């Protein structure tokens, strides 16, 4: 699955980490501005970062940031909290002979959006020429912020801190605009910075004497809404089960932002637009739709009998919510998750109100490359909350031990919430571990748990010193069967060692079938056969790099619908569509996929972009225009709803065959 920008934690990026406390900055004074900065230079790539702070730096306090980069670096990012999510970012780039400093914030793995809590003002020395460019700016609001746990956090100006950097080598899309999108980084890292040495005398007078009088003028790029032609083209062999009527259009929903194509017999109508990264959908017991908008909170939408929206309101404003949502079966308790915590609220569906928030879980990882924590409540088990937590990085080796509380699905008894909430890693019991990032979870009609796993990136097969790149079409993403969550499931699903073959011909050392286990580098103690002995195989494998992020069974349990969010780790791009995988009931009454594990054709395209090769998985900066399927939910009338979570202009669709 994709990481937009640098999202690694210190642990995940050990190669960039330095000994604790080893400071890599030194004081350098600038003759022209008379400002002395605590400065760090990456000599090998020729980028310098300087910070100057007031002598008396009491939160909230201003900072001066100076970044100099060679002309081949098209943008540079600086993370004030040392990671690329959930802290203020200063993103800078050249703009003709001048430069731009933009305040950003990344709520999730998408494009960092404008951050209203900070503002930059250019100082003397800011300019761009044919060899280098320099940004010298006052930042108001960069040194303190609200943490993911909703607490005030401020940089300790008399101590040291870890900052993070990133840069890109492709031009930002609209350099004249401080809201410009930009493409994924070329490299990222950390360093330890001495802030105490950054404190200067006369900070205020230095700012005053160096402030460029004309503040930057913002030019907003016009947003072009495209009209969409939704056409039916391909044939689909999924069982025609969803017959609920789909409205031809919904007034007020706006035109679809991107073109889409549908399988034969299917209809899709946009019911909402202008949303901010809409992720998961949860229907309440009264039929209202609740939507998590990442970086905003939860919104409440009343539907007319036709499936169109008649009214909307914000139910919960909490910008740390980023994906997970669940409702107790009686509809009276709402659950939602941030990257690090889970919460509950008393919920009144008719009044569209929530009561006081309770923190029911803490201790989920802050940072790393997988930031969402999917929640689910089994319909017949109101006390069991299922929480999925992905790995920290592509290959998070420590997760072979389930006590890490990563790459695992856990179950928590809501009738026994400890004071202060559950601790994710140490409380609860296991519903399977060794799932790299099981973002989608769904129950079948027997209330058995299934999930869809995002498997790894950049894969190679190395045997006897011979290394082959197999990443383009391997490993397969997976559908996992976890089963009955009322009792512990201590099965290991293979990660971080065992992966699934999708394209056998890529492997030169051995004849594999689709769905076979492989390890990247077999050795004397662990090889492909070890996986066969120890790991629980998937129920089915899915196209590599599809990034499946939600699953829902249709009411008849004839298909599992899966959203493919799409990834960056493949050329051409793949994913960006809704698919259906046919299921059947076996003689023992259990549901299973119709296709065998050796199938590569189980998933049928239902709703997809006309040219997926143009859908780069890195947000609007690289996308030439694609919708991005994320959350799914059925309503009581058997209609399927789907979000498209582009960071602005997100949409919700109603789909069916009626």
Ligand X SMILES: *[C@@H]1O[C@H](CO)[C@@H](O)[C@H](O)[C@H]1NC(C)=O
Q: Is 477 in the site for ligand X (CB under 6 A)?
A: no
DSSP-assigned states of every residue in 51-117: EEEESS--SS--EEEEEEEETT--EEEEETTSSSSSS-EEEEEEETTEEEEEEEE-SSSSPPEE-TT
Among 7, 12, 339, 519, which residue sits at the site for ligand X (rule: CB under 6 A)?
A: 519
- Contact in structure between 324 and 308 (CB atoms under 8 Å): no
Among 218, 221, 225, 350, binds ligand X (CB under 6 A): 218
Contacts of 291 (CB under 8 A, 6+ apart): 275, 278, 279, 280, 281, 282, 298, 299, 301, 631, 643, 652
Q: Is 126 in the site for ligand X (CB under 6 A)?
A: no
**Looking at 39, 109, 178, 647, which residue binds ligand X (CB under 6 A)?**
178
- Min dist CB 277 to ligand X, Å, is 17
| Sign for the pseudo-dihedral over CA of 381, 384, 385, 391 | negative
| Residue of 133, 163, 335, 495 that binds ligand X (CB under 6 A) | 133
Residue 158 binds ligand X (CB under 6 A): yes
8 Å CB contact between 254 and 274: yes
Cis peptide before 173 (omega within 30 of 0): no
Residue 526 binds to ligand X (criterion: CB under 6 A): yes
H or E segment and range at residue 531: helix 528-534
Length of the chain: 658
In this complex, which beta carbon is closest to ligand X, that of residue 68 or of residue 491? 68
Given 103, 207, 321, 640, the residue binding ligand X (CB under 6 A): 103
Stretch that binds ligand X, among 96-104, 136-144, 328-336, 639-647 (CB under 6 A): 96-104
**What does the angle CA 534 – CA 536 – CA 540 come to, to the nearest 5 degrees?**
145
For ligand X, which is the closer residue by CB, 24 or 176? 176
For ligand X, the closer of residues 155 and 387 by Cβ is 155
Binder among 14, 29, 34, 129 for ligand X (CB under 6 A): 129
The CB-of-462 to ligand X minimum distance in angstroms stands at 10
The Cα 360–Cα 353 span in angstroms is 19
Q: Tell whether the torsion through CA atoms of 75, 76, 79 and 85 is positive or negative.
A: positive
Residue 114 binds ligand X, judged by CB under 6 A: yes
Tell me the H-state helices in 144-218: 203-210
Is residue 497 a contact point for ligand X (CB under 6 A)?
yes
| Of 58 and 464, CB closest to ligand X | 58
- CA 497 → CA 11, 31, 397, 401, 488, distances in Å? 19, 55, 8, 12, 22
Cis peptide before 303 (omega within 30 of 0): no
Told to check if 216 binds ligand X by CB under 6 A, we report yes
Binding residue for ligand X, selected from 19, 31, 32, 96, defined by CB under 6 A: 96
Residue of 403, 379, 389 lying closest to 323 (CA atoms) = 389
The Cα-based distances of 547 to 316, 319, 377 in angstroms read: 28, 24, 23
State the Rg of the chain over Cα.
25
Collapsed DSSP state (helix, strand, coil) of residue 229: coil
Interface with ligand X, residue 525, by CB under 6 A: yes
Angle at the Cα of 187 from the Cα atoms of 183 and 99, rounded to 5 degrees: 55
Total chain residues near ligand X (CB under 6 A): 32
Give the nearer residue to ligand X in terms of CB position, either 53 or 281.
53
Q: Is 68 one of the binding residues for ligand X (CB under 6 A)?
A: yes
Rounded Cα distance between 10 and 163, Å, is: 11
* Number of Cβ within a 10 Å radius of residue 130: 6
For residue 55, report the phi and psi dihedrals to the nearest 5 degrees: -60, -45
Is 11 or 398 the residue whose CB approaches ligand X more closely? 398
> Minimum CB separation from ligand X for residue 17, in Å?
19
Given candidates 98, 174, 228, 468, which one binds ligand X under the rule CB under 6 A?
98
Q: What is the C-alpha separation between 11 and 23, in angstroms, rounded?
A: 18
173 binds ligand X per the rule CB under 6 A: no
The sheet that has 309-317: what strands, in order across it?
278-283, 289-293, 297-303, 309-317
Burial (CB count <10 Å: 0-12, 13-18, 19+), residue 313:
exposed
Find the binder of ligand X among 46, 149, 171, 179 (CB under 6 A): 179
Is residue 571 a contact residue for ligand X (CB under 6 A)?
no
- Residue 87 or 119: the one with the smaller Cβ distance to ligand X is 119
CB of 177 to ligand X, least distance (A): 6
Pick from 156, 232, 446, 613 the residue near ligand X by CB under 6 A.
156
Please tell me whether residue 624 binds ligand X under the rule CB under 6 A: no
Q: Is 220 in the site for ligand X (CB under 6 A)?
A: no
Of 9, 38, 90, 134, which one interacts with ligand X (CB under 6 A)? 134
Task: Specify the stretch interacting with ligand X by CB under 6 A; choose among 209-217, 255-263, 531-539, 574-582.
Answer: 209-217
Task: By CB under 6 A, tell whether 153 contacts ligand X.
Answer: no
Least separation in angstroms between CB 410 and ligand X: 23
Applying CB under 6 A, among 70, 159, 274, 596 the residue interacting with ligand X is 159
Q: Which of 408, 545, 428 is nearest to 480 (CA)?
A: 408
**What residues from 48 to 67 belong to the interface with ligand X (CB under 6 A)?**
56, 58
Q: Which stretch binds ligand X (CB under 6 A): 8-16, 97-105, 344-352, 431-439?
A: 97-105
Closest residue by beta carbon to ligand X? 159
215 binds ligand X (CB under 6 A): yes
Q: Any contact of residue 523 with ligand X (CB under 6 A)?
A: yes
* % helix, strand, coil for the chain, step of 5: 5, 40, 55
Q: Is residue 318 within the footprint of ligand X (CB under 6 A)?
A: no
Residues that bind ligand X (CB under 6 A): 56, 58, 68, 95-96, 98, 100, 102-103, 114, 119, 129, 131-134, 156, 158-159, 176, 178-179, 215-219, 497, 519, 523, 525-526
């Amino acid at each position: 699955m994709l990481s937009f920008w640098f999202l690694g934690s210190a642990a995940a990026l050990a190669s960039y980490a330095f000994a604790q406390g080893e400071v890599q900055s030194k004081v350098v004074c600038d003759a022209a501005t008379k400002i002395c900065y605590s400065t760090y230079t990456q000599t090998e790539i020729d980028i310098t970062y300087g910070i100057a702070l007031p002598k008396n730096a009491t939160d909230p306090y201003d900072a001066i940031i100076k970044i100099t980069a060679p002309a081949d670096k098209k943008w540079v990012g600086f993370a004030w909290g040392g990671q690329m999510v959930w802290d203020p970012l200063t993103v800078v780039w050249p703009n003709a002979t001048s430069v731009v400093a933009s305040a950003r914030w990344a709520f999730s793995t998408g494009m960092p959006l404008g951050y209203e809590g900070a503002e930059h003002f250019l100082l003397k020395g800011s300019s761009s020429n044919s060899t280098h460019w320099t940004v010298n700016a006052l930042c108001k609001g960069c040194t303190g912020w609200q943490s993911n746990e909703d607490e005030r956090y401020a940089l300790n100006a008399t101590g040291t801190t870890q900052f993070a950097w990133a840069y890109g080598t492709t031009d930002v899309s609209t350099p004249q605009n401080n809201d410009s999108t930009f493409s994924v980084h070329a490299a990222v890292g950390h360093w330890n910075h001495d802030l105490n040495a950054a404190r200067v005398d006369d900070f205020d007078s230095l700012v005053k004497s160096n402030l460029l009088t004309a503040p930057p003028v913002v030019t907003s790029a016009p947003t072009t809404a495209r009209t969409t032609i939704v056409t039916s083209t391909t044939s689909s062999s999924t069982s025609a089960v969803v017959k609920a009527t789909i409205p031809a259009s919904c007034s007020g929903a706006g035109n679809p932002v991107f073109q889409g194509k549908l399988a034969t017999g299917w209809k899709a109508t946009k019911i909402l637009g202008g949303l901010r990264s809409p992720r998961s959908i949860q229907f309440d017991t009264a039929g209202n739709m609740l939507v998590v908008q990442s970086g905003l909170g939860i919104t409440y939408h009343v539907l007319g009998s036709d499936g169109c929206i008649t009214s909307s309101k914000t139910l919960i404003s909490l910008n740390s919510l980023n994906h997970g949502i669940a409702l107790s079966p009686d509809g009276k308790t709402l659950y939602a998750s941030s990257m690090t915590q889970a919460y509950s609220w008393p919920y009144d569906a008719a009044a569209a109100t929530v009561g006081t928030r309770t923190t029911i879980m803490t201790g989920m990882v802050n940072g790393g490359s997988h930031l969402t924590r999917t929640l689910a409540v089994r319909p017949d088990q109101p006390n069991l909350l299922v929480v999925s937590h992905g790995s920290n990085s592509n290959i998070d080796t420590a997760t072979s031990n389930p006590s890490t509380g990563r790459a695992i699905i856990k179950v928590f008894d809501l009738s026994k919430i400890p004071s202060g909430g559950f601790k994710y890693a140490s409380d609860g019991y296991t519903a399977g571990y060794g799932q790299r990032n099981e973002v989608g979870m769904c129950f079948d009609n027997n209330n058995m748990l299934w999930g869809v796993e995002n498997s790894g990136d950049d894969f190679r097969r190395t045997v006897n010193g011979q290394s082959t790149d197999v990443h383009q079409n391997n490993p397969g993403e997976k559908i996992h069967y976890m089963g009955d969550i009322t009792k512990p499931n201590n099965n290991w699903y293979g990660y971080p060692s065992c992966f699934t073959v999708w394209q056998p011909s890529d492997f030169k050392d051995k004849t594999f079938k689709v769905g076979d286990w492989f390890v990247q580098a077999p050795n004397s103690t662990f090889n492909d056969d070890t996986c066969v002995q120890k790991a629980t195989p998937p129920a089915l494998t899915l196209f590599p790099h599809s990034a499946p992020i939600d699953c829902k069974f249709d009411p008849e349990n004839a298909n599992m619908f899966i959203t493919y969010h799409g990834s960056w780790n493949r050329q051409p791009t793949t994913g960006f569509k809704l698919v259906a995988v046919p299921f059947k009931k076996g003689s023992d009454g259990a549901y299973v996929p119709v296709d065998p594990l050796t199938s590569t054709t189980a998933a049928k395209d239902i709703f997809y972009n006309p040219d997926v090769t143009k859908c780069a998985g890195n947000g609007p900066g690289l996308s030439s225009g694609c919708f991005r399927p994320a959350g799914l939910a059925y309503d009581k009338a058997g209609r399927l709803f789907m979000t498209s979570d582009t960071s602005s202009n997100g949409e919700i669709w109603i789909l069916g065959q009626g």
